Structure formats: C-alpha cells, structure tokens
Structure 1
C-alpha cells in the first residue's frame, strides 16, 4: 500500500458492471472508497465489505479528493454533476473529477472548461476491458488531462487500471481514442455475428465454427468473446445492444462533423438499431445476430430456444 493510498479519499459514482469493479479494485489497493448509486442498496452492499455508502453524489463529493464517475453516458454524467444533489457544487477547489464514460469528445472538452471555473480538475478518462478486467484492476484507461489533474489523480488512475494511456495535456484526446476503439468493437461484433449467422445458415455446426475461427486468421477478440455467448444461448447483458446504438452513433457524429466517411461503422450501427427495435435492446450486444433470418440459434440449457 502506498503512502498516497493511505491518505487519499476516492469516490466512485455508479456501481454497474464496470463501476463496481473499479470500486472493488481501489478498495483492494488500500484506498478508502466512498460510493453511491441510483439503485437502492447498491452502495450499502459494497460498503458492507469496507467503504462508505453515500446517499447522493453531493454527499460523496464533499468527503473525497477524487471523484470517479462510471455511468452510462453524458446525460447521466451531467446529472451526477449538476442535477439534484449533484457533485459539482460540493467538490472542493483542487479536487478532481474523473469521467469514465464514452461521450462526444467535444462535450468532454466543454466539461473540463466548465469545471475549471470552480477550480475543479478534470480527467477525460474513458475505460475499456469489461467487468472482469475492471474487477481485476486490469482494464484500460484512455486519458487526457492537464498536468495538474494528472498530479492530483494519477496515482488513483494507476490503481484503477492495468494500462493508463496519457494521450494529451487537456480533455478530448481520451474520448477521441475511445470513439475509435468503439468503432472497431462495434464493427467486430457485427462482423462476428454476420459470419456465425452465415455458418449456421449453411448448416455448419456452431461449435465447429467457433473452434476453427478462434484458431484461424479470421479471429478477433470480439468473435472469441461474444460468439461464446451465442454458443451458450446466453444473452444476459454484459454490454447491451443499446450501448452500441449509442456508441456507434457517437462515432458517426464525430466523423460527420468533418464529413469523414465511415461505411463499415454506419452499417454496423444500422444492424444494432435493427436489433434494438426488434426487441433486443437490453440483451447482450451479441444478440445482434438475431436480426439474421432463417437461422436456428444455439439454445441455452433448459431453454426453449431462441427461434
């Protein structure tokens, strides 16, 4: 445990799949972690094993040096900061707000300036890697911030993540790199689903497709990870279809501003929107495979089947 960890107080707002892992990692690495979540009981459950449960963001922000926000999008981040019992008004000058969501880079740039008016430092710090890596302290952070923000919160960032990329000296670059990552992630999931669907349509055994592709040049991390969900017939949302409706939408918005063409990202976005409107919005993002007609998907054990 570092001397810094013994003294720093950190707050985590949002105890979802990634946020809970972040909070657990910080606790395991010696930080006193304050937490809050909109779901009743989530903060208390975390604090029962060590930590401090707070009723709302303002209560949390008043007690900590670094606030880490792990919510879904910009709108939720706005609510965390500036909504009823928001964190911004309670944060002391010199404290740091770490924004971990996938957002429009221009929104992140504006937020840095807005917080600076009250002396609050800001880290543009989207995260990647999934719940398991967050819980193991092995996720990736794509960050950009002023030198003062890094000085204040750098040790916390290093404790949260296995890899912390420092991509610029002000907000924006972190979110831009996350946007590029999400372009690839969304396209890879959509392509993986298309490939598996074609194999099923042609009568190839799903397990055989998975075995061969994961040991061949066509493999991707997303194929290996997400098509395992399809094989299991398990669409429990680790990352939902609607996350990629949002994230690929941000990708396209970013490119549209400079009239930059993204044909594959646009097609993948349409696929996720089709899956969402077909009723799979809250299912795992691998459920994008359900948009393909005339295929029989693997069934979960003790399940009646998907089609």
Structure 2
C-alpha cells in the first residue's frame, strides 16, 4: 500500500496527513479552506479539487469531517470518493458521527467493492499531530489486518471494538460522555478555586499528582490558568457536537445520562457565549457568574 487520502485537513486531518507522509505514504488530500490547502501542499501532499481526486488510485482514504451529512456527501456525491476509489480499497471513517449515520453509510456502500472501516479517534490535536491517536476500529478482522499499516501510521493504540459500521461510533459516544463530564468538573473546580483565592499553579500541582489527575484534567487546567481560550486545536464546536451524539444515543437506548447532560448544558453555554472559543472557554462563563478568574499566580 502506497497511496492514502485524507478528506478534511483541519486540526485533526492535517495531523493524519503529516504522519502518513512521515511513514512514507503518498498522500492525496482535499479541503475547502485555502489556508489548509496551502499548509497541506507545504508538507508535501498532493492536493485535489474534490473527494473524487483524493480517491483516484488510493489504497485507503480517511474521512475527517465534522458531521454525518458531510461524510455522506464526501463519499456518495457525484464527485465523491466512490466515484474513483479502486475495488478492494477502504474508506476509514475517522470522523465522529452518530452510530446510525455510520450504519447508513455502511448499508449504502454495500456492493461498491470498497470496504468501510468505522474508526473514530481520540487524542485531540496533540494526538493527531504526534501520531499517537487512539483508534476505535470496527470492521471484519481480515479487513483490519489488511489495512493495519495505514492505521498504525497515525495511531499509538488501535482497539478492535467490533465488526459492524456504527460499533466504533458507539464506543466513541460512550467515551465522549465521560470526557465531557471530566472537562465540566474541571471548569467548575477552577471557578471555585478562583473565587476562594487559590492560585492556578497550586491547583494544578495538587490535581496532577492526585488520583483525579489525568491527561484530560491536567491539559484543561493548564489552558485555563494560562488563559488560552482560542487556537489550541480543541474547538468547542467539536465537543458540543460529540456530547449531542452521546445524549442522542442515551435517548435512543433509554439510558439516563445525568452527568453528561449537565456537561452538555455547560458546553452549550460556552458555545453560545464564545462561539469561536475552545473547550476551556466554558470556564469563563462560570467565572463571569462568580466574578473571579483563575490565573497561574494570584494577583497581589
């Protein structure tokens, strides 16, 4: 396997492309934004005008878009991937979408001769750029074995979570319900410490060496105390969408998600007030209510 495509060259997709190039693959890509196109060319990728250009001659193509409707357009439109992808190639659905949307895509691809690997990812911007993503991959074992070198180029952990389209998305929804709750609890704790006059550095030192410390909490707190609320590669729209997916899955299965529901409202408030912010900007909404901000050091 020599040629791999990436549709969607944003914070996540650009990382996929970078690491595929690093591992010696020829990489074809497409994106709607000129600045992303320029960055992709600069790293050595071959830019296409549409998904069909990306699929032409490719062994596999990652689809890293925002929504299920976008994924369907990329795959099934007249200038979509299925118009040009060779027989026995694969589409890696690395975007996070609703499980039912992934199942619909799999059903519609039946008979196309192109395999579908439902494999949403976790690890955010650092994981994508560093090639250390966690993949939740769902496809028949022989298909995963065949395309394993491509998946390994972008990932540090590949979990085989099922064989059917939608299995990967279901596991991702469960994961995001947990991560959303961890984020929201961190935002609230940060505002509580700010109001009490505790320095951000003290809070970080304690949290990071306690049983509550983890990558999600530590990274969020670092961003909060350094007041980095935009441009960190973790736009609030993504987590807001993912929590919406988790809540919809809970609704469909009759599972109460009390904590994820609270997190959803915190992210909804953050997105409404600061639509251009990253996840951590939710803290600012709570800080504005209590009239205190958490900085790395307490102002004298």
Post-superposition CA distance 1:109-156 (Å, at most 9, x none)? 221121123121100000111222222211111010124532442221
Alignment root-mean-square deviation, CA: 1.8
Counterpart check, 1:270 vs 2:265: yes
Poorly superposed stretches of 4+, deviation over 6 Å: none
Residues 268 and 92 from structure 1, CA distance in 2 versus in 1: closer, same or farther, beyond 3 angstroms? same
Equivalent pair of 1:197/1:295 in contact (CA under 8 Å):
no
Count of residue correspondences:
293
User: How do 1:1-307 and structure 2 match up within 5 A?
Assistant: 4=1, 8-83=2-77, 85-237=79-231, 238-277=233-272, 279-292=273-286, 293-298=289-294
Distance 1:49 1:252, change over 3 A: closer
1:258, distance to aligned residue in structure 2 (A): 1.7
Instruction: Give the CA deviation at 1:82.
Output: 2.7
Distance 1:216 1:146 in 2: 40
On the 8 A contact 1:233/1:297 being kept in 2, the answer is: no
Residues 232-273 of structure 1 deviation map (CA, whole Å, 9 limit, x = unaligned):
111114212222221111101101112111100011101111
Contact in 2 for aligned 1:97/1:120 (Cα 8 Å)? yes
* TM-aligned CA distance change 1:124 to 1:285, over 3 Å: same
Unmatched runs of 5 consecutive residues or more in structure 2: none
Q: CA contact under 8 A between 2:199 and 2:295: conserved in structure 1?
A: no
Shift of the alpha carbon at 1:281?
Answer: 2.3
Distance 1:84 1:201 in 2: 56
CA shift, 1:80, in A, is 1.5
Q: Distance in 2 between matches of 1:197 and 1:48?
A: 42
1:47-70 per-residue CA deviation (whole Å, 9 max, x = no partner) reads: 334231111111111231211111
Q: Supply the distance in 1 between the matched residues of 2:145 and 2:110 (Cα, whole angstroms).
A: 16
Which of 37-46 and 230-239 deviates more? 37-46
Superposition deviation, residue 201 in structure 1? 1.3
More divergent stretch after superposition (59-68 vs 25-34): 59-68
**Cα deviation, residue 219, structure 1:** 2.3
Greater mean deviation of Cα atoms: 27-36 or 112-121: 112-121
Distance in 1, matches of 2:191 and 2:38, equals: 43
The DSSP-based 3-state class of the residue aligned with 2:116 is: strand
TM-score w.r.t. length of structure 1:
0.90
Unaligned runs of 5+ in 1: 301-307
Residue 84 of structure 1 and its aligned partner are, at CA, apart by 5.8
